[in-house]
Amino acid sequence: MPEGKIMKALSGFYYVKDQDSVIQCRGRGIFRKNKITPLVGDYVEYQADNDQEGYLLDIQERKNELVRPPIANVDQAVLVFSAVEPDFSTTLLDRFLVLVESHGIRPVICISKMDLLDEEQELSINLFAEDYRKIGYEVILTSAKWEESLSLLTPILDEYVTVFAGQSGVGKSSILNALRPDLELKTDAISSSLGRGKHTTRHVELIEIGQGFVADTPGFSALEFSELELEELSACFPEMDEISNLCKFRGCLHMNEPKCAVKSAVETEDIKPYRYKHYQQFYEEIKSRKPRY
């Protein structure tokens, strides 16, 4: 059976890319019966007599899936945060990092508007960037000079399926439109052709940029840890995960346990105290979410 990747889902049709062709497919009734919804990013088997009409036969196992946007098999998320206007927030960045890590997605941190900083602010952002690089994250610093910024971003997208996410008001859509100047025109054309008021769901599409694919809708609009368990939280902080096997107690949650390697590393600042503070905040948030009897 031929195989391909779903590039777009729209009004019950799935557009499957197989090498250089895109085949319009419908889902089989068995998917509805089993309550399976094919997602953009899914690798599928399909059957088609021509490129106008085909049927999805099977969906291969997903390595991850997101709810917003509804997309599967994401490799990386570019988290866009501005240095100023709005001000850079490590709390919000760490929240996004935990969400991305919990889905098994590689984060890339992009700090924008660096050209708007004075010397002192620039030093502060560079120190934060260094903290995150030491943890192992890729951090790129960009300015309003789009050509320069895009030359840093574009190579990162090659060979991957990427979503953009991050702080409101930092220009995620502007970055997408700068990466693909024809995009704005395309999204406008699609939304006006659907302007019948029936389809309130925004469709998601994977667009080709260089050798990679980018979701044309920013991700992670919901920032609650609704699916994350307490025991899983520290694994979403790589620098804690790395040394947690040195804690005295197996399954240490790095809160009140004695001889905790993570708390010792916070005291020596091998783990940044602000990162541990956010860990504590998120821990309490997840704990208070659980039902109390």
Nearest to 115 by CA among 90, 83, 158, 89: 83
Nearest to 156 by CA among 168, 170, 167, 142: 142
Question: Which residues sit in the known binding site?
Answer: 112-115, 166-174, 247, 252, 254, 260
Nearest to 56 by CA among 65, 67, 43, 47: 47
**Do residues 97 and 278 touch, judged by C-beta distance below 8 A?**
no
**Cα radius of gyration (the chain):** 21
Question: Which residues sit in the known binding site for Zn(2+)?
Answer: 247, 252, 254, 260
φ/ψ (deg, to 5) at 33: -60, -40
**Do residues 36 and 52 touch, judged by C-beta distance below 8 A?**
no
Instruction: Tell me the C-alpha distance between 267 and 273, whole Å.
Output: 8
Question: Which residues sit in the known binding site for GTP?
Answer: 112-115, 166-174
Question: What angle separates helix 90-102 from helix 273-289, to the nearest 10 degrees?
Answer: 60
